[in-house]
Structure 1
Amino acid sequence: MATYDPFRDLDRLASSLFDTRRGPRRMPMDLYRDGDHYVLSADLPGIDPGSVDIDVDGQLLTIRAERTLTQGEGVKWITREREAASFLRQLNLGQGIDTESIAANYSNGVLTVTIPVSEKAKPRKVEVVAGNEAPTIKAHESSEEPQPIEQ
């Protein structure tokens, strides 16, 4: 059996009145590089996958999502702490990203965006050949990493 807390409703009212966050909220995310691509994982619990919108405009990646709550007819709420909300995150993609091949998946409340590094941006090593032969270029991967994503 739940106990009644007379201050809970007052606390909730004060929080809603003094909440300075208006508009879209930021979604918590992780970003890491795995080989030739970056992986962005963002927490979006309770989001309808159809509400997730990902746009790439030049070098700007924008993720938007909406959480809507159902309003059952004749429902009598005991407590309601989850809110409908809009989420927004924008990332500046540096040079060297293959923006045409960005892919996304939403599963178990986590949005995963795979951001590949373009072929032109992958590190290469030029081999120098001595002698009178015409110079040839051989591409090899280097251990240096470009930094194509800025938050």
Structure 2
Amino acid sequence: MATLTRKQKFQFPEMPDWFETIPGKFTMPAVRIEDYMEDDRYVMRAELPGMSPEDIDVVISDGLLTVRAERIERDVDKNHSEIRYGELSRSLTLPSGADEDDVKADYTNGLLTVSVGLGAEKPEARHVEIRHGT
């Protein structure tokens, strides 16, 4: 009697994973993020699995939000490892009107969430006179 066996289907990796393996200008950032507006706040979430809050530094200065983290490699014999070790960082430009004094950060289940209030006065657009040299 014949035995039926099921062949495993080949599964392509997710597109972002492809770009991580191509060196050069297609390399994905070390810290994956998403950002959005929620109520009157700018919110940025960053994937930082396996970190502790002590390994993460969030800095806001001159309209720039920077997240830095460091994962230290354990000194054990490994058969295989795809885990990234070392320093990771990502910087984002804050939206107009961001209040750098109104910042909250939370790290839960491998996700860092930083929210920045948008209550600061937004300067109005102005036209700049263009001089014509002769």
User: By the TM > 0.5 criterion, same fold?
Assistant: yes
Tell me the equivalent position of 1:115. 116
Alignment of 1:36-47 (within 5 A): 36-47=40-51
Q: 1:63 and 1:109, CA in 2 relative to 1: closer, same or farther beyond 3 A?
A: same
Tell me the equivalent position of 2:65. 61
Give the count of matched residue pairs. Answer: 98
Counterpart code for 1:40: M
Tell me the equivalent position of 1:89. 90
Return structure 1 stretches of 4+ with deviation > 3 angstroms.
Answer: 18-21
Shift in Å, 1:48: 2.5
Aligned mate of 1:27, from 28, 31, 49: 31
Shift in Å, 1:83: 3.0
Q: 1:83 and 1:30, CA in 2 relative to 1: closer, same or farther beyond 3 A?
A: closer
Counterpart code for 2:107: Y
Give 5+ residue unaligned stretches, structure 1: 1-17, 122-151
Distance in 1, matches of 2:108 and 2:71, equals 15
Q: 1:95 and 1:20, CA in 2 relative to 1: closer, same or farther beyond 3 A?
A: closer
Higher-Rg member (1/2): 1
Question: Match of 2:121, SS?
Answer: helix
Distance in 2, matches of 1:83 and 1:99, equals 31
RMSD across aligned positions (CA): 2.1
Q: Deviations over 1:66-120 (max 9, x none)?
A: 111222xxx4433233231321111112431111011111111110001110153
TM-score in terms of structure 1 length: 0.57
Counterpart code for 1:81: E
Give 5+ residue unaligned stretches, structure 2: 1-21, 123-134
TM-score in terms of structure 2 length: 0.63
Structure with the higher helix share, 1 or 2: 1
Distance in 1, matches of 2:51 and 2:91, equals 18
Tell me the equivalent position of 1:125. none
